[in-house]
Structure 1
């Protein structure tokens, strides 16, 4: 039997609100293979990495039609009845650090009078042969194109950026980071469809106008495909929260914890949060398509010993090694995701959106706690 015909995805109009937008550089990947192209991109990337850790890429050889198709598939998944989606959810797996499949909204209590989190997540692990999972029919019927899209994210975007980072770090081989992120080796990369349900103005006020407080991602880089509901904010190096503008035919990229660890903090893990949308979009549910790139599971997250740049700067340690830990990526994913998904006490939320959790709720490993960036 043929699968369900998926109707085209139509984006909602962009906001007309006068927001304080971040000024981010845009890397044009069409110049990557041109003479001096990589050197020019490295210069742009160096500025972005040292100032805000966020940037855009364009001309990445994935068509807008392919991107919109993934949004359509995400829409179709979230339109399924809750009981159908829950077939792909396992709370015990989630609380033990396994984060593939479905995470329903409402697992985290935000206020004592019953406001719960509004975030649904569906993670599709990369197609490396190590993460075979049952998928709902609406996705399984299109699994070939989902895999193609996932691999394109990795091959056409992630690998190019890893080569640029390797050049910036003055590694003797620009393929070194690529070899640590091989798609077909065991790793925890995943494609994500993410859904934020709209709230009432009263609810938003009681939770500090935030869908998710300030945080960092745990992998190498995150790819956020353009969608027009304004909500993402970044913390710049002046300590100011700025809105990220949805730019046509771009991907928003942010640097994450593992890449920061591999560079001893030279590359800063980007701090970001999800704010309630502006008034003219506040009634709209927000759907995201993201790809999370991570080092392969065997990679040890010690500072890169072959980087001439890090050697010249005297960078030899990071927050893990200073605790006597030499974590593999697999170990880091497990402990960090376990901390992220464990049940927590209700946080204290101030009127201006500051979230306060207990030290126990934030502990990742002894001596290392997650930070809520207020």
Structure 2
């Protein structure tokens, strides 16, 4: 019989007057209404071309279901370190295999300060990623699978159809077929834990938990949690805080979608800042779902999009190097680069991060970008 899981209690939201980003909210209850998808595409168009961030609401996943996943994440991180480490393999990380547990402190961020991020990734339940799970997760694995599948069916699939309409594709299910849940792929659910740091430690790393970056997949779903930390780089080049809105999911578009659309859809640039003063001593627990194209999908620009063809968006960063990477190849080289970075950054005044270029090389001719 599954063990009892304590109810998740949210942290009190910040009362500080932060410089919040202005983001659109897509109401997915319009999705099934006549003309609803077309109306949503109109709202989505500017956001994905210029910022890559937006909210969705009315997504048919209850707050109770979301809170249960936060509870499971909290229970997992409460386990003794030696228990969590049973699900960690550093050699796997270096090879680009990111599922399972990643402890904090694996790298020195800069100025002698180690990273403060723990990650536990649960691959999608497509039959291709068998993994042992700790008892606290295994006892509730059917519930975890149901939640993972609903992230895909209730949010990802609907967004893919909206993107297809935006791209004027002849079949609005074209992108859906490249992201089938039961076909081998690298989608995963993540419980993420950021440990609060002292003000002194934060100052040594530019007050950042994670420097500016993009995600490597199609879209990332970030479920609301009230510790303010996420910031986005807007189209004017300014960092803005992303407000945790009630009953919403924050969505960001990612590298694979940018590649498929020849750069039309922006891969959103974001970072994780140390929380504001009234939340500075609180650990931050995240619940995310990362959607990616199926492993066999080649990340060339979509050829049958009238919109992309009219705009001349027929190449991307891969094809310009003569590369035609599948999603699986892209995930391996990108994840390997992320885990390879052992040398700490040089952190300049103002929080600018500098790395040796070799540490950022993904493939010859293509390096990862750190956005300062």
Range of TM-score over shorter length: over 0.9
- 5 Å matches for 1:55-70? 55-70=54-69
Find the aligned partners of 1:344 and 1:358 in 2 and give their Cα distance. Answer: 11
- 5 Å matches for 1:168-247? 168-247=166-245
Cα offset, 1:4, TM superposition: 1.8
What is the match of residue 7 of structure 1? Answer: 6
- 5 Å matches for 1:83-232? 83-112=82-111, 114-232=112-230
Q: Which runs of 5+ in 1 are unaligned?
A: none
For the 8 Å contact 1:166–1:174, the answer to whether it is kept is yes
What is the match of residue 336 of structure 1? Answer: 334
Alignment RMSD (CA, Å): 0.6
Find the aligned partners of 2:222 and 2:206 in 1 and give their Cα distance. Answer: 24
Three-state SS of the structure 2 residue aligned to 1:110 is: strand
Three-state SS of the structure 2 residue aligned to 1:233 is: strand
Cα offset, 1:17, TM superposition: 0.7
For the 8 Å contact 2:96–2:333, the answer to whether it is kept is yes
Cα offset, 1:50, TM superposition: 1.6
Find the aligned partners of 1:110 and 1:267 in 2 and give their Cα distance. Answer: 30
What is the match of residue 27 of structure 2? Answer: 28
What is the match of residue 277 of structure 2? Answer: 279
For the 8 Å contact 2:24–2:43, the answer to whether it is kept is yes
Three-state SS of the structure 2 residue aligned to 1:60 is: coil
Cα offset, 1:315, TM superposition: 1.2
Find the aligned partners of 1:363 and 1:344 in 2 and give their Cα distance. Answer: 13
Cα offset, 1:3, TM superposition: 2.7
Three-state SS of the structure 2 residue aligned to 1:97 is: coil
Cα offset, 1:290, TM superposition: 0.1
For the 8 Å contact 1:53–1:254, the answer to whether it is kept is yes
Find the aligned partners of 1:122 and 1:342 in 2 and give their Cα distance. Answer: 19
Q: Which runs of 5+ in 2 are unaligned?
A: none
What is the match of residue 52 of structure 1? Answer: 51
What is the match of residue 365 of structure 1? Answer: 363
Find the aligned partners of 1:351 and 1:283 in 2 and give their Cα distance. Answer: 24
Cα offset, 1:344, TM superposition: 2.0
CA deviation profile, 1:111-138 (whole Å, cap 9, x unmatched): 34x3100000000000000000000000
TM-score, scaled relative to structure 1: 0.99
Cα offset, 1:343, TM superposition: 3.8
Three-state SS of the structure 1 residue aligned to 2:13 is: coil
Find the aligned partners of 1:276 and 1:29 in 2 and give their Cα distance. Answer: 32
Matched length: 372
Q: 2:324 aligns with which of 310, 317, 326?
A: 326
For the 8 Å contact 1:60–1:157, the answer to whether it is kept is yes
For the 8 Å contact 1:207–1:351, the answer to whether it is kept is no
For the 8 Å contact 2:341–2:360, the answer to whether it is kept is no
Q: 1:261 aligns with which of 259, 262, 266?
A: 259
Three-state SS of the structure 1 residue aligned to 2:231 is: strand
Runs of 4+ in structure 1 over 3 Å off: none
Cα offset, 1:181, TM superposition: 0.1
